[in-house]
Amino acid sequence: MKRTLLLLRKDALVLRRSPLLLAILLAYPLAIAILVGLVASYASAKPRVALVDEDNLPPTVVIGGHRFHVDRTIEQVSKNVKLVHLSSEQAAQQLKTGKVVAVVTVPPGFIATLKEMVRSPKLEVELSQGTISSRVEQQVQALVYSLNRKLQRAYIGTNLHYVTLILNGGTGSLLGQQFNVLGMAKSERLLRSMPQTPRVRKLEDFIHDARLALANTGDAMRSLANPIGLQRTDSRGRTWVLSANVQAYALALTITFLTLMLAAGSLAAERDENVIGRLARGLVGLGHLVWAKVALAAAVALVLGLAIATAFGVIIEVGGVTGGEPWHRLPLLVLGLLLAGGSLGALGALLGALAREARSASLVALLVVLPIVFLGLIPSEIVPPAGWASSLLPFTHAFQLFRSALFDLSPWGEVAKQALWLLVLGGIFGALACRGARRLLA
Amino acid sequence: MSSEQPLLAARGVGRRFGQTTALEPVELEILPGDALALVGPNGAGKSTLLALLAGALEPSTGGIDRRKGVRVGWAPQRPAQYGRLSARENLELFARLEGEAEPEEAAAQLLRDFDLPGKASPSADLSVGNRQRLNLAIAFLGRPEVLLLDEPTAALDPEQRRRLWERTTALPEAGGAFAFATQNLDEIERFADRVAVLRDGRLIFTGGIDEYDRTQTDTLFA
């Protein structure tokens, strides 16, 4: 253990004396954190959408006896997108130049058609051809869905008003015409006061059945309007998936690249410096040498990982990204970083032992790391063999551990499972590296 | 063969690198008081034999017997040290690994003895001669009883050569031994009392310096 620590201390000193490598080690995670932070901020930013009002929307509009506040509705939409009022020409120009990602046009006669409650008026939507267009389309669809729900309630209320009029009687209006309705209740009472002939009793029975049926009209209409209801419940899943995935991938990607190359290069460098023989002649076992590189990789992963998480956290806090950074989870991340760094370091040491020369080892590590990462990015549900192969490499487990440690509401089970995977893989790769390190003596 | 127990012994030790045989199985003993010169043309297997005796290389055949508790120092032909560390840092690191009780003191002493710069500049920036001095100084850490030196004086100035031989020849007098590979016939005659001659990976002669015939050597190197 003491010898491993001595070598680790030496490696840290060597690392400190390698300005280029140190600069890369410092700049790389910082660049990744900034990029990832910007991606997360961009993902949560409100897209700019033009609203072309060709119908001169009033502040409020009454439909089916219900008052709708147009201003409030627009404000509601603005929670998801930034609506800007533009003329048709301005909107077309800005869509062309990418200043707005969509144009929503309220055509002339929209409100009048809406008030008629006979035909469905149409909103016109024009989208840009960008990656974000699908998201804007979803936002517009959500807006129309929300408006339709409100209108449905208004239409149902209006129709139910007529039903109530038929049931109870009274004064109603349709297309500006006033009229009086006797109503079923009064009709029933009128029939009861008449001589009870078989024909009158038949009419009484019909009116009784009709009243019962009409009493359920409201529920039936609501059910027809929304055959399937959507009830939101609080989930125990991830607090916000996008940021979780982005940050976990950034951590796993950076650590995989750097620790793999660092461990591979530094083990092979012992041979390049010609000290491997000096160490191996009883001063330090090859196992000590390998585990020193594993410890170095774990230490570097810890420092870099925490730097990325901190920088990322600051960026998304400043950017006001929904959910914020789960700062209280950083201690759990420490465990993940150490295990991931160690496991990847063991794999790197194995590559270093096989390659034998620092330059070759770094190149081999670079060539190996790309397929490892790509395999980890392929969803195992889509390509099962990729999932199997990926489960035998540390990247996927590191990613899943980071995601779970930072964002799962109940992370313990997943963290324990992935930690065990990393531990086992690290042990296997480390043992193979110890065996392979004998090649360095040749 | 002497009846005295050797400090180090190669027992049928041989080494292959892939399909190439660097050293055919060799029997060689290093006894207390020995000053053994390994001679032979380039590629004869001298460095391989010294590395095998030092334990820096695993033998393909046979094995190395080391008397229990014997400490061995080894200076390979190509300096073996960390280029990013200074001379002092290299010495302190290897002193700790050698188990020196006072690593800083041991390092400081060797810096003085070998006239090495104590400043913090990386050893990779040292001159060829200074790098070789550091290489040799590291071999003296851990108070070795047997020293294995591979062409130790190749890059040293006359004064440093004198100092090195002064330190090295003190070992046999104290019951230790040293073996060195060299191409320098003068050094063989001045400092060796036994000679082992290798050629094409085979040990073709072992004997006292008196048996060693200069004319025979000329033939060997021809």
Give residue A330's pLDDT band: very low, low, confident or very high (50, 70, 90).
Answer: confident
Domain boundary among B101, B117, B143: B143
Closest residue in A to B78 (Cα–Cα): A274
Q: What is the model's pLDDT at position A418?
A: 94
Instruction: Examine the pLDDT at A237 and tell me if it is beyond 50.
Output: no
Point out the residue among B57, B72, B96 whose CB comes nearest to the CB of A277: B57
Q: What is the model's pLDDT at position A298?
A: 95
**Which of A337-346, A355-364, B207-216 has the weakest average pLDDT?**
B207-216
The DSSP secondary structure of B15-64, one letter per residue, reads: EEETTEEEEEEEEEEE-TT-EEEEE-STTSSHHHHHHHHHTSS--SEEEE
Examine residue B35 and state whether it is found in any structural domain, yes or no: yes
B54–chain A Cβ distance below 8 A for any pair: yes
Distance CA A151, CA B98 (A): 86
Point out the residue among B17, B76, B84 whose CB comes nearest to the CB of A18: B84
Residues in chain A closer than 8 A to B138 (CB atoms):
278
- Say if the Cβ atoms of B84 and A6 lie within 8 Å: no
Pairwise pLDDT comparison (B83 vs B216), residue with the higher score: B83
B83–chain A Cβ distance below 8 A for any pair: yes
- Say if residue B99 is in the same domain as residue B168: no
Mean pLDDT (chain B, rounded): 90
pLDDT (average), residues A340-368: 90
- Over its C-alpha atoms, chain A yields an Rg (Å, rounded) of 35
B165–chain A Cβ distance below 8 A for any pair: no
Instruction: Examine the pLDDT at A263 and tell me if it is beyond 80.
Output: yes
Question: For the purposes of burial, counting CB atoms within 10 Å of the CB of A74, is it exposed (0-12), middle (13-18) or buried (19 or more)?
Answer: middle
Examine residue B123 and state whether it is found in any structural domain, yes or no: yes
- Say if residue B29 is in the same domain as residue B55: yes
Point out the residue among A13, A282, A283 whose CB comes nearest to the CB of B85: A13
Give residue B216's pLDDT band: very low, low, confident or very high (50, 70, 90).
Answer: low
Distance CA A67, CA A74 (A): 15
Look up the domain containing B100 and give its range.
83-143
Examine residue B77 and state whether it is found in any structural domain, yes or no: no
- Say if residue B2 is in the same domain as residue B40: yes
Closest residue in A to B136 (Cα–Cα): A278
Decide: A165 and A156 in contact? Cβ < 8 Å: no
Examine residue B1 and state whether it is found in any structural domain, yes or no: yes
Task: Express each pLDDT in A374-431 by its tens digit.
Answer: 787 777 777 788 888 888 889 989 998 998 888 777 888 999 999 999 999 999 999 9
- Say if the Cβ atoms of B85 and A273 lie within 8 Å: no
CATH number of the domain that residue B50 is part of: 3.40.50.300
- Say if residue B180 is in the same domain as residue B108: no
Instruction: Examine the pLDDT at A23 and tell me if it is beyond 50.
Output: yes
Q: What is the model's pLDDT at position B168?
A: 93
Decide: A418 and A254 in contact? Cβ < 8 Å: no
Point out the residue among A3, A14, A277 whose CB comes nearest to the CB of B80: A277
Structure tokens at B190: 């001045």
- Say if the Cβ atoms of A441 and B84 lie within 8 Å: no
Point out the residue among A6, A277, A438 whose CB comes nearest to the CB of B76: A277
* Predicted structure pTM score: 0.69
- Say if the Cβ atoms of B81 and A279 lie within 8 Å: no
- Say if the Cβ atoms of A438 and B84 lie within 8 Å: no
Looking at residue B39, its amino acid is V
Q: How many folded domains does chain B comprise?
A: 2
- Say if residue B42 is in the same domain as residue B149: yes
- Say if residue B4 is in the same domain as residue B108: no
- Say if the Cβ atoms of B122 and A441 lie within 8 Å: no
Task: Express each pLDDT in A72-112 by its tens digit.
Answer: 777 766 666 778 889 999 988 888 877 887 888 888 888 88
B80–chain A Cβ distance below 8 A for any pair: yes
Q: What is the model's pLDDT at position A138?
A: 72
Examine residue B78 and state whether it is found in any structural domain, yes or no: no
- Say if residue B60 is in the same domain as residue B112: no
- Say if the Cβ atoms of A17 and B51 lie within 8 Å: no
Structure tokens at A117: 């409650």
Residues in chain B closer than 8 A to A12 (CB atoms):
none
Mutate one of A273, A438, A440 to test the B interface: name it (highest B CB count within 10 A): A273
- Say if the Cβ atoms of B97 and A3 lie within 8 Å: yes
Instruction: Give B88 to chain A, closest Cα distance, Å.
Output: 13
Structure tokens at B164: 């090195």
Mutate one of A275, A279, A288, A438 to test the B interface: name it (highest B CB count within 10 A): A275
- Say if residue B43 is in the same domain as residue B25: yes
- Residue A258 parent element (H or E): helix A241-272
pLDDT (average), residues B164-178: 93
Comparing CA positions, the residue from A291, A198, A309 lying closest to residue A250 is: A309
Q: What is the model's pLDDT at position B12?
A: 94
- Say if residue B113 is in the same domain as residue B152: no
B104–chain A Cβ distance below 8 A for any pair: no
- Say if residue B191 is in the same domain as residue B216: yes
Percent of chain A past pLDDT 90, that is, above it, reads 17
Q: Quote the ipTM score.
A: 0.86
Examine residue B76 and state whether it is found in any structural domain, yes or no: no
Most confident among A1-5, A165-169, B145-149 (mean pLDDT):
B145-149
- Say if residue B131 is in the same domain as residue B170: no
Residues in chain B closer than 8 A to A13 (CB atoms):
84-85, 89
Domain boundary among B96, B127, B143: B143
Give residue B36's pLDDT band: very low, low, confident or very high (50, 70, 90).
Answer: very high
- Say if the Cβ atoms of B58 and A441 lie within 8 Å: yes
Instruction: Examine the pLDDT at A239 and tell me if it is beyond 50.
Output: no
Point out the residue among A14, A18, A438 whose CB comes nearest to the CB of B58: A438
Q: How many CB pairs under 8 A join A and B?
A: 60
Domain boundary among B109, B143, B177: B143
Comparing CA positions, the residue from A303, A385, A276 lying closest to residue B57 is: A276
Q: What is the model's pLDDT at position B217?
A: 58
pLDDT (average), residues B72-98: 93
Examine residue B75 and state whether it is found in any structural domain, yes or no: no
Q: What is the model's pLDDT at position A117?
A: 66
- Say if residue B56 is in the same domain as residue B13: yes
- Say if the Cβ atoms of A273 and B82 lie within 8 Å: yes
Which DSSP symbol is given to A322?
A: T
Task: Express each pLDDT in B99-151 by its tens digit.
Answer: 888 999 999 999 999 989 877 789 999 999 999 999 999 999 989 999 999 99
Q: What is the dihedral of CA A432, A437, A439, A440, to 10 degrees?
A: 160
Comparing CA positions, the residue from B141, B140, B144 lying closest to residue B152 is: B140
pLDDT (average), residues A115-125: 76
Measured over all CA atoms, what is the biggest interatomic distance in chain A, rounded to whole angstroms? 124
Examine residue B155 and state whether it is found in any structural domain, yes or no: yes
Q: Which of residues 131-150 of B touch A (CB under 8 A)?
A: 138
Pairwise pLDDT comparison (B194 vs A120), residue with the higher score: B194
